[in-house]
Structure formats: C-alpha cells, structure tokens
A and B are shown apart, each in its own frame.
Chain A
Amino acid sequence: MVPIEYYLILSVVLFAMGAAGVLARRNALIIFMSIELMLNAANLAFVTFARQYGQLDGQVFVFFVIAAAAAEVAVGLALIVMIFRSKHSIDVDQMSSLRE
C-alpha cells in the first residue's frame, strides 16, 4: 500500500503549485484554475486523513468543498465573461481603472 505521507506530499505540492500560480500568472482564468488546484489539494488531504483515521467525515467534507467551489465557478466565470465583453482581455495587469 502506498504510505499516507506520499499522498500528503502530493497534496502539499499541489497546494504550493496553486498558490504560486495565483501569484505568478496574469490571466484571470489561469489564476482561477490555480485556485481550484488549491481547493483540490485540500480535498486530497481530507481524503488522505479520512483514510488514515478510518472515518467518513473527511470524505464528506470533500463534497462540501466541491459544492462550494462549483458555486464560486458560477459567479467567477460570469464576472470574467462580463469583463471580457467590455475589455476584450482578461489580463489582470490591464485592469488599471482603479489605480491612482
């Protein structure tokens, strides 16, 4: 059996990749995908711990997180589409109407 640590290391790597993606990428869609990666890293950690403790709780939490993420997608994509329509770009560096 694959040891628990391997899953956890993978989850930490995924989370770090997601966080780095949010900070480094400038395309709103890619940033959003990176955030989803962070959420799924957490899901992997939940499932791993649930398996370690032999509980179902952790697996149920994953459903909650997936549902919340889906709700976020609905609003997030709507916002991105709206901005794309008016600016024809979703590069966050070009959103400068709020800078002094």
Chain B
Amino acid sequence: MTTPVKLLDFITILPVIFLAAWACLLLLVDLWVKHKRVTAYLAALGLAIGLGLLWYQAAWIGNAGFNHMVVLDGFSVFVNALLLLSGLLGIALAYGYLRRMGIERGEFYPLVLFSLSGMMLMAQAADLIVVFLSLEFLSIPLYVLTAFAYPKAASEEAGLKYFLLGAFAGGFVVYGIALVYGAAATTALDGIIAAVAEGRANLSLLVSGAALILVGLGFKVAIVPFHMWTPDAYQGAPSAVTAFMSSAAKLAGFAALVRIFALAFSSLSDDLIPILWGLSALTMLVGNLLAIPQTNIKRMLAYSSIAHAGYILMAFTAFGNPGVAEVSIAAVLFYLAAYTVTNYGAWGVVILLERAGDLGLEIGGYAGLGRKYPALAACMTIFMLSLIGLPPTLGLVGKFYLFRAVIAADLIPLAVIGVLTSLISAWYYLRVVVNMYMRTGDPEISPEPWALTITGLMAILTVLVSLLPGWLFFLASQARLNLF
C-alpha cells in the first residue's frame, strides 16, 4: 500500500521542514553574528516566512503526506498559525529580557524554532509514531530552554525536574502506543479506526493504551495529578521561556490530544468520559485552590495555567458525542487562542517588572503600579479579568463557548464545578489588581520597547476581539479535523 515519496508529501509539512532547516542555518550563522539581536531578528524573519508558507500551503488543505503519517487539514493550519504567532510573541518578549538578565546567548532562538517545528509537526501527526517523535522533538529543546539561565541554581533545577518528569511522561506515551499497536496491529489513526470498526481490535488493550497516552499527554499539558513539575519548571525557567512554554507547549499538547482522541479513540468515549470528567474536575479544583496561597507571581501563573488546562479538558470531555464534538473542538481552539493572547500579555507585564536576581516577582511588589504606571496597570487588570473570565475580555467569550459545549453534552455538574472554580480564581487574580491600585509602593519597570509593545497589543486584542469574537469562532469552527 505504500506509495513513493512525492513533492506533495513535502508540501504537506512545508513550514515544519522550513523552520527546522532555518534553525539549523541560524545555529551556523550565529557563530559569526556579534550582536545576538541580529539572531533574534533572523529567527523572527524565519517565523514570518513560516507564516507565509502556511498561507501558501492552505491551498492543499485536505491532503495527507508520507503514507498518511501526517495530514494537512483546517485544524492543523489553525493550530500552526497560532503556534507561529506565539513563537513571534515569545521571541519579542525574550529580546530585551535575555540581555537584561545577562543570558543573551545565540542558541536561544534556534532552540525556540526547533521546539516550534516539533509542535507544528505534532498538530499534523496522523500516526502515533509521529506523535511520539514530535513530542520528543518539541520537549528536548524546551528542557534546554528551561535550564537556560545556568549557572543559576533555580533554572538548572527546574530544567532537571522538567526533564525527568517529561521523559517519564514520554515513557507512558511510548508504552501506550505499543499497547495500541498490539490492539490494532497499526499505529496509523485511520488504521485504528478501521480496526475498531471491523471488530479486529482488542478493546481492553486499546483502552489501556489510550489511557497511558492520556497520562503522557496529560503531563505535557499539566493536568492534575500529573502537574507536579509545572510550578517548579515555570518558576525556575527564565520568564520569557515560561511565557513561550505555557502557551505553545499547551497548544501543541492539546492539538495532539484532540486529534488522537476525537478521531482514533472516539469509539472509546464511553469508557473514557468518567476518567476525563474526574481529571478535568480535579485539575480545575487543585489548580485554582493551590494558586490562592502563592505569593510569587510566576508560581501563581503556573497554577493558573494548570487550572486553565482543566477548563479546556472540561469542554473536551464529551469528545465522542457526535452532536457535540464539533462544537467542543471549536470551543477548545477558540479558548487556546484566547489563552495564548492573554497569557503572553500577563507574562509581558511580569517580564517588565522582573529585575535581575529574581527581584520584582512577588505579588506584593506590584503595589503602587496603578499610580506610577497607570497604562501598564490597566493592561494587567485586563489580563487578570480575562483569566477570571469577566467582561469585557476574551476570557469571558472563551469560557462562554467552553461552558456551552459542556452544557450541550449534558455534563451539568462539571459545568457547575467550572463556574465555582472560576469564582474561586477571582480571589487570587483580583489580589494582583488590589495590590496595584489600593496599596502604595514604588515598583520599577524596565522600559523595553518590544515587551511594552506586546503587552499593549495583547491588552488591546483581549478587549477588541472579545467585542467581535464571531470571526475567530468562525475560523475555529472551520478548522475541521480530517482523516483521509
């Protein structure tokens, strides 16, 4: 059944190939570049070209490549566009930050590009082996980036913890894939569906395999009880890396989760719903409750990111229900876009206030920001409101779509838990706002043009898109999963 490699095969993963090649070139060019700023601009140029290639590639939507190992569909184009944009935002935030922290090393930008190309491949993977390979491809550069502030002890330790738990999760994914292979005699998603439909598959093996894959990917997107690495890795990593990792890695992880489960394992939905129900409820509760006592803003945002993984998983719980699956996938994509925008904005503020030696990271240090830098405080207020899910922000619209999908699937108790935990989250998000406006203090910011621009832009987008969310939701609902 195998066909020889054609040009079309390469077109289906053109941006991925380009990005990986560009990163290799950048590693070489960086040797001769004296000012690392140039490397940053070249990396951004590569991402911009990647976006162009993605647009060019869109004419071939609906094709599979390399014997159905990868697919190019609306879903993957949507996710890849978000990933490339989040790479651009990550580089913009890192630009001034790295120099200020004294860790401006040229490898940073190629590593970001390598990780991104792994993530983009993951969004396109239509075979479990490609899922595993892209998972490693995206994770290994992230381990290095987490430890990028060496010889700072916190960063090294964060890197090691992330590495050990990430590799542990990788072990679960591989074993899960082995079991699925044993059950269906193939690792291709379409082959698994065919095997299940024809009754050839060994269902108990398939369910255990799916559960192990869920555990492994659950580690990557930080779902409780597989979240232990998140607060440490997010706090210890350089803030610009955390911003990138918390948005882009989550995006890629959820893209793979959605594709694998909604397509290949949709027949297992009845077995998996109680598991997903419990995981998402637990994630929302634990993430939000543990965020309350945090005094360090990076740690607080880490728990907040766990909680948001819970909300996204909540909408995806009913993935096997054919009437709901489409709405819930669109809601997940919309929320991921909304979260990316808000998250980068919030990390932009954190980066502006951080000073070398881990100073300026306490939430108490935000006191007086409202008086001294009213515009920045207004931006931070918008991001906090968006993370709670209050108007007039993107967070509210995103949560509205998520809850609509949950209610359509008739999982009312889960929706109630979601609403209640959102209320709990107001406690710790609003504490930041209260600190900024109602306490006196003398915070200092580092006026970096790029970080300021990104923060302002994200604040504007958070409000503006929430007033006219229709087009983004339309795009998200057009982003269909294809199988071939």
Q: Which residues of A are in contact with B by a Cβ distance under 8 Å?
A: 8, 11, 15, 18-19, 22, 28, 31-32, 35, 38-39, 41-43, 45-46, 48-49, 52-53, 55, 57-58, 61, 64-65, 68, 71-72, 75-76, 79-80, 82-83, 86-87, 92, 95, 97-98, 100
Q: Give the docked Cα–Cα distance between A7 and B133 (Å).
A: 25
CB of B39, distance to nearest CB on chain A (Å): 21
Q: Is there an interface contact between B157 and A98, defined as CB atoms closer than 8 Å?
A: yes
A82 proximity list for chain B (CB < 8 A): 147, 150-151, 156
Question: B244: CB under 8 A from chain A?
Answer: no
Q: Is there an interface contact between A95 and B157, defined as CB atoms closer than 8 Å?
A: yes
Question: B232: CB under 8 A from chain A?
Answer: yes
Q: B161 touches which one: A19, A35, A75, A95 (CB < 8 A)?
A: A95
A92 proximity list for chain B (CB < 8 A): 160-161, 164
Number of interface residues of B (CB under 8 A): 43
Question: Which residues B161-186 have CB closer than 8 A to chain A?
Answer: 161, 163-164, 167-168, 170-172, 174-175, 177-179, 181-182, 185-186
CB of A30, distance to nearest CB on chain B (Å): 11
Q: A61 touches which one: B150, B156, B171, B181 (CB < 8 A)?
A: B181
B144 proximity list for chain A (CB < 8 A): 75
A86 proximity list for chain B (CB < 8 A): 151, 153, 156
Compute the total of residue contacts between A and B using a CB distance below 8 Å: 122
Q: Is there an interface contact between B168 and A35, defined as CB atoms closer than 8 Å?
A: yes
Q: Is there an interface contact between A49 and B182, defined as CB atoms closer than 8 Å?
A: yes
Q: Is there an interface contact between A75 and B140, defined as CB atoms closer than 8 Å?
A: yes
Q: A32 touches which one: B156, B161, B164, B235 (CB < 8 A)?
A: B164
A95 proximity list for chain B (CB < 8 A): 157, 160-161
Q: Is there an interface contact between A61 and B187, defined as CB atoms closer than 8 Å?
A: yes
Q: Give the docked Cα–Cα distance between A21 and B115 (Å).
A: 29
Q: Who on chain A is nearest to B358 by CB?
A: A97
Q: Who on chain A is nearest to B236 by CB?
A: A98
Taking each of A19, A71, A79, which has the highest tally of chain B beta carbons within 10 Å of its own beta carbon? A79
CB of B312, distance to nearest CB on chain A (Å): 26
Q: Is there an interface contact between A55 and B185, defined as CB atoms closer than 8 Å?
A: yes
Given contacts A28-B160, A32-B167, A79-B160, 17 further A-B contacts (CB under 8 A): A18-B171, A22-B168, A31-B164, A42-B174, A57-B181, A57-B187, A61-B187, A64-B132, A75-B140, A76-B164, A80-B160, A83-B156, A83-B157, A86-B151, A87-B153, A98-B235, A100-B299
